[in-house]
Amino acid sequence: MIWDFAEANPFFTSTGSLETAFSIVADVLQSLPSLVHIAGRASELDATAAARKVVMVSTDPPYYDNIGYADLSDFFYVWLRRTVGGVFPDVCSTLLAPKAQELIAASYRHGGDRDAAEEFFEGDLQKAHIAPVDVAQAAIGPGMAVFSRYSRVIEADGAQVGVRAALSAVNRVLDETLEETGAELDSDTRWALTWHAQHGFESGDYGSAEQLSKSRNTSVEGLVSAGIVESRAGRVRLIPRHEFDEDWSPAQDERLTVWEITNHLARKLETRGEQAAARLLAQVGGLADAARLLAYRLHHICDRNGWAADALAYNSLAAAWPDLTQQAHQPPTEDQANLALIA
């Protein structure tokens, strides 16, 4: 909270103007189905729990440590409690607004321990299965908060850092954070991830593919036998998920990779829906979490490169993961038990 006023020109065309306000409301009304009439209703819910039970649209991503909404709400809550506490006793049952579960990296809530606050926030987002597209947006808040804290930010050579450069730095840190999952991936998948970032599903030179495979402790021939690469006439390409075998089974795959699991799950979800994807997820055993993390990384790569269709597929997979996991929690099948022994 700042001890100053926020100035906006109501007669201009920027944020805060009447024209913008009218336009935003009109866009919403124009998009609503004309035959649907729903009364408005307000509820106090834990967003991390409610997201699994109802359709929820979040208009603001978590802001890391930049904005403490729960603390700010006390300014209003204490007066609301006095005026309407008797009308809404359940909502106003506490002396102050609830804060413990707020998704924010506030060190004072963790005994002044900054690392513990960051671990709480990041254990981030991931346990709540925040969609990959929202993870990227959530990273912008704390990153740009550092940048905007100062009147000028300069490079070592004295050049001033602009907004575009600051955003690039935020994205580099996000890349590094997502790459920390690489240790949990098999060699073939780590090769596929690097090759995909450079080539997508387009073909590349065999020599470059073989050189990269040596640094990933695999080989092009091994990648071909794993069923994720096609090599012919001196060219190598990753096989797109829509060309994968529809009847593929992880229990029968002699060279199982997290890359295959993630892309087969994305394909099942696209073509056959959640039930089919959940049945497949039930067969992958302990590799499920690595597949989920890979979906986050693949979305980030596709989004950065403008591969919209692929980005949507991986984002949809990660966003649907809680429902898929719930549906997959059935008594283990024989294939699933065999896969656990292989893993």
Question: From edge to edge, which strands make up the β-sheet containing 229-232?
Answer: 204-205, 235-238, 229-232
> What gap in Å lies between CA 218 and CA 239, rounded to an integer?
17
Q: Which residues of 164-228 form beta strands (DSSP E)?
A: 204-205
Identify the top-confidence range among 47-61, 105-119, 184-198, 256-270: 256-270
pLDDT value, residue 166: 81
pLDDT value, residue 343: 45
Mean pLDDT confidence for 253-264: 94
> What gap in Å lies between CA 120 and CA 146, rounded to an integer?
20
Residue type, 288: A
pLDDT value, residue 131: 65
Q: Which residues of 43-193 form beta strands (DSSP E)?
A: none
pLDDT value, residue 44: 64
Residue type, 83: T
> What gap in Å lies between CA 221 and CA 224, rounded to an integer?
5
Q: Rounded mean pLDDT of the chain? A: 81
Mean pLDDT confidence for 147-173: 80
Q: What is the DSSP string of 275-301?
A: HHHHHHHTTSGGGHHHHHHHHHHHHHH
Q: Which residue has the higher pLDDT, 50 or 264?
A: 264
pLDDT value, residue 35: 64
pLDDT at 330 over 80: no
Mean pLDDT confidence for 94-98: 83
**CB neighbour class for 76 (10 Å; exposed up to 12, middle 13-18, buried from 19):** exposed
> Could you tell me if 327 and 272 are in contact, meaning their C-beta atoms sit under 8 angstroms apart?
no
pLDDT value, residue 51: 53
> Could you tell me if 217 and 246 are in contact, meaning their C-beta atoms sit under 8 angstroms apart?
no
Of 161, 154, 135, 335, nearest to 250 (Cα)? Answer: 335
At 286, is the pLDDT very low, low, confident or very high (cuts 50, 70, 90)? confident
What does the CA dihedral 209, 211, 217, 220 come to, rounded to 10 degrees?
Answer: 40
Give this prediction's pTM: 0.59
> Could you tell me if 128 and 104 are in contact, meaning their C-beta atoms sit under 8 angstroms apart?
no
pLDDT at 98 over 50: yes
Angle subtended by helix axes 132-148 and 163-179, to nearest 10: 130
Identify the top-confidence range among 12-26, 45-59, 138-152, 310-324: 310-324
The domain limits of the chain are 183-342
pLDDT at 52 over 60: no
pLDDT value, residue 46: 67
> What gap in Å lies between CA 343 and CA 336, rounded to an integer?
10
Q: Which residue has the higher pLDDT, 322 or 131?
A: 322
pLDDT value, residue 261: 95
What the block records as the tokens of 36 is 């649907």
For 183-225, the pLDDT digits (tens) are 578 999 999 999 999 999 999 999 999 999 998 899 999 999 9
